[in-house]
Chains A and B, each alone.
Chain A
Amino acid sequence: MHPVVKTVLERLALGLATLFFVSLIIFSAIEMLPGDFGQAILGQAALPETVAAFRAELGLDKPAYIRYFDWALGAIQGDLGTSFSGRNASGADRSAEVVDKIAPRLWNTLFLASMAAIIAVPLSLILGILTALYRNSFFDRSVNTATLTTISFPEFFVAYILILFFASLNQIFPSLANVDADTAFGERIYRTALPAFTLTLVIVAHMMRMTRAAIINLLASPYIQMAKLSGASQTEIIIKHALPNAWAPIATVIAFNLAYLVVGVVVVEVVFVYPGVGQLMVDAVRTRDIPVVQGCALIFAVTYILLNLLADIIGIVTNPRLLHPK
């Protein structure tokens, strides 16, 4: 087997093991949440028998490890259980499958994340390369200062500033990003523009600075001096000689930021009233809707693991020592 395939498979297995441990942690963390769902829904006045019956119906009376295996086995088959919400004291059951609750939200989140990524990743790479090329110039300093400024402000502040300039003072984009399943594609892009810009401003600095640093770090290498002495221009040196050796650290930082776009954007969702997974999870925690919380947490974990795996693979295939062994 080619060593690269072997390494990738190893990483994949390691990712699965990580996922297993993370699922354990998610489950136990939620076990440790204070309060009782039955009590919370039925109210303080409910008879203990009623609460017990309600718990039995939801399966909350079973021991924790059995509930974990039920949940984990279901999750492997794509079934994250049934949401607790929608039930009430009168016994009416309007509860939905967790998957059905999460799916449209996840689609929204991924849509927003992709939009932000499509703008931010090329932008940071280009800015990173240009600032490396014209390092210590006025251009370099201004880009660095600007990106550091945007990353230093809290997200909601950046969001409100954008709303102020692009929705209130100049009515270019809507200030609310309320989309649903029926929203047309073009309309969707239009409505999510401001949240996407906000996220772009938040993540560009990190990726751009890493690109710049990774390239500049290589410029002291003897092979860069060799390239200079063979008549290569600055642009050629950066693009052809430095960048191919700099992908591994850059990919890691990009993966980290993309994962953030999926799992960490609840503040931006709230500001723009955007129906994403982040808000869903926060709501679920508030209402003690445990299956939904678990489902969201698991999806976040998968996102992190997959993106980091991808960064690892990029690191491996751009390293000729691994790709072309002796």
Chain B
Amino acid sequence: MKNKKENSTLLQIKNLKIEGFSDERWHKIIKGVDLELKRGEVLGLIGESGAGKSTLGLAAMGYTQPGCRITGGKIVFDGIELTKLTDYEKRKYWGNRMTYVAQSAAASFNPAHRLINQTTESTIRAGLKKQNEAFDEARALYDALNLPDASTIGERYPHQVSGGQLQRIMTAMAMSPNPDLIVFDEPTTALDVTTQVEVLAAMRDIVKTYGTAAIYITHDLSVVAQMADRIKVLRYGEEVEEAMTRKMLKSPKEDYTKSLWSVRSIQKPEEKSKDTILEVENVDAFYGSFHVLKNINIKLPLGRTVALVGESGSGKSTVARVITGLLEPKAGCVKFKNSELPSSLKGRTKDELQKIQMIYQMADVAMNPKQTVYDIISRPASFFAGFTGNNLRKRVIELLEQIDLDESFIDRYPSELSGGQKQRICIARALAANPEVIICDEVTSALDQIVQEGILKLLGRLQKELNLSYIFITHDIATVKAISDEVVVMNEGEVVEQGLKSEIFAPPHPEYTELLLSSVPEMDPDWLTDLLNARNS
């Protein structure tokens, strides 16, 4: 089946319509999309959450998630009309001629089985190879994907390897039956940038070597630029535009496509400040016997933003826990306006608590779903700021206006709000206490680009109006550039460097900062190739 001539069409989707069932009725998810894929070609599907890109990617395999149905159109894979087949018939193709790489490798491997058995499961089931033959080839694939201990790593269980390794093993699993089509569904979204580079490179090489056609789904334009020959932009289940990668990056036609990288256009000029409002001095902290923070020193200038940057596990969120008093440090202290704060939450006075507020990454889980917007915001306004009765209601409305929402939101529940609105309510809740310092922990990470932009602009405006100081925890360099005055780079519980934004982003860098900065994908389709060449030389 491999010998069919190049450039023939492998997959053709015509006017596909898919509906999903929720809230007691059917909603349209895909509203008549066409898609064509040639053999050996990589197509990038890009869009924000809810654009229907995952649904379309799965539909390319003739699969719909439980609760979804195909209501019209055709999916023709190598001459076979998939919408007419039963699941029983489609199983012959799944895991054989078409395979899938999921977003969260950690959740997508069965915890009960060894990796090599899972890698080769579908190949052996389809009768393509015998077990030992398939195992040998899987080990060769592990090696080709630059996995350490390629000959033995397959004997391990999923929890025994790292996320980046799992994602590569899942790619090996998808390659094992030597399929005609692989659907990559946000395969690097859950990974740190430094890990992402290796995984992207491994995936790109292997797809090229085997000449496999692929659909690459992501919300990150700079990632898709590295992977895809052609890009299709989706929004609300409809195609916005489609073009060859280079052409799309150079001259996107639609406004929507242009807006997708709008965050990158926010640039805040950095400002110095003489006064320091908050200081973390020589802090050491432990989780049990694990040394999470090692002699941390951070200064927050008054009315400015310090961005804490680092990968997962670098200790950024732990710094926030120490500052707020949720975690008592073993050594060192936190000073607010030159006076030392009690290290534990219990030891702090109401006044001290009021000054420092937090906003979290997951706005959904940071709010009680059974409370209305009024309940959520009024609690700190009465507890800390002492508002009561009619004044309290006025204050809540005033706070809502500050975050660009109006009075009509006051009786809504969190479930009736969009992701961006939820995060705005969390900001209002923090403001209700009249704080001087706000710690923002990955507050834009779960949001789409355009919504992110709105939140970042709001935070910037509030800073000016209220002279707030922010500690902004993030792993996203674009966000750092957009909002910070100073930057603190963290790695493995230590501060790698701290300084003004312009100093940190200007070379020369310490080794880790260099690795971190260079790993952030750029919109240039040659970025990955150039980077790998530069690193290898």
The interface of chain A, by Cβ under 8 A from chain B, is 221-223, 225-233, 241, 244-245, 318, 320-321, 324, 326
Contacts and interface: CB of A to CB of B under 8 A. Distances in A.
Nearest to B103: A222
Interface of B: 58, 61, 63, 65, 88, 91-96, 99-100, 102, 104, 107-113, 121-122, 125-126, 156-157, 159-160, 173
Contacts of B112: 241, 244-245, 318, 320
A232 B91 CA distance: 7
A96 to B, nearest CB: 52
A321 B125 CA distance: 27
Contacts of B93: 231
Nearest to B155: A324
Contact of B159 (A222, A226, A232, A326): A326
A223 B110 contact: yes
B102 A222 contact: yes
A240 to B, nearest CB: 8
Given A223-B110, A231-B125, A318-B112, 5 more contacts: A223-B109, A225-B65, A230-B99, A231-B92, A232-B125
B104 A222 contact: yes
B111 A320 contact: yes
A326 B160 CA distance: 5
Nearest to B88: A233
Contacts of B121: 230, 232
A244 B160 CA distance: 18
A134 B122 CA distance: 24
6 contacts: A225-B108, A229-B61, A230-B121, A231-B96, A233-B91, A245-B111
B159 A223 contact: no
A245 B100 CA distance: 22
Given A225-B65, A241-B110, A245-B112, A320 B159 contact: yes
A223 B108 contact: yes
A229 B95 contact: yes
Contacts of B173: 230
A324 B110 contact: no
A318 B94 CA distance: 29
A230 B94 contact: yes
Nearest to B91: A231
Contacts of B110: 223, 226-227, 241, 244-245
Given A231-B91, A231-B95, A222 B157 contact: no
B108 A222 contact: yes
Contacts of B109: 223, 226
A221 B100 contact: no
A308 to B, nearest CB: 23
Query: Which one of B88, B112, B125 has the highest number of Cβ atoms from chain A below 10 Å of its Cβ?
Result: B112
B91 to A, nearest CB: 5
Contacts of A222: 102, 104, 107-108
B94 A229 contact: yes
A245 B107 CA distance: 13
Contacts of A244: 110, 112-113
A230 B128 CA distance: 13
A226 B94 contact: no
Contact of B126 (A229, A231, A233): A231
Contact of A230 (B58, B111, B122): B122
B386 to A, nearest CB: 47
A241 B108 CA distance: 11
B122 A231 contact: yes
Contacts of A233: 88, 91
Contacts of B58: 229
Given A228-B63, A229-B100, A231-B91, A321 B111 contact: yes
Contacts of A324: 156-157, 160
A324 B61 CA distance: 35
Contacts of A320: 111-112, 157, 159
A233 B92 CA distance: 10
Contacts of B88: 233
Nearest to B170: A226
B178 to A, nearest CB: 14
A326 B157 CA distance: 9
B61 to A, nearest CB: 7
Contact of B107 (A221, A318, A321): A221
A10 to B, nearest CB: 18
Top 10 closest A-B pairs, CB basis? A230-B95, A231-B95, A244-B112, A230-B122, A231-B94, A222-B107, A229-B100, A320-B157, A222-B108, A226-B108
A230 B91 CA distance: 8
Nearest to A244: B112
Nearest to A243: B112
A94 to B, nearest CB: 59
A228 B107 CA distance: 14
A227 B159 CA distance: 18
Contacts of A226: 100, 102, 108-110
Contacts of B94: 228-231
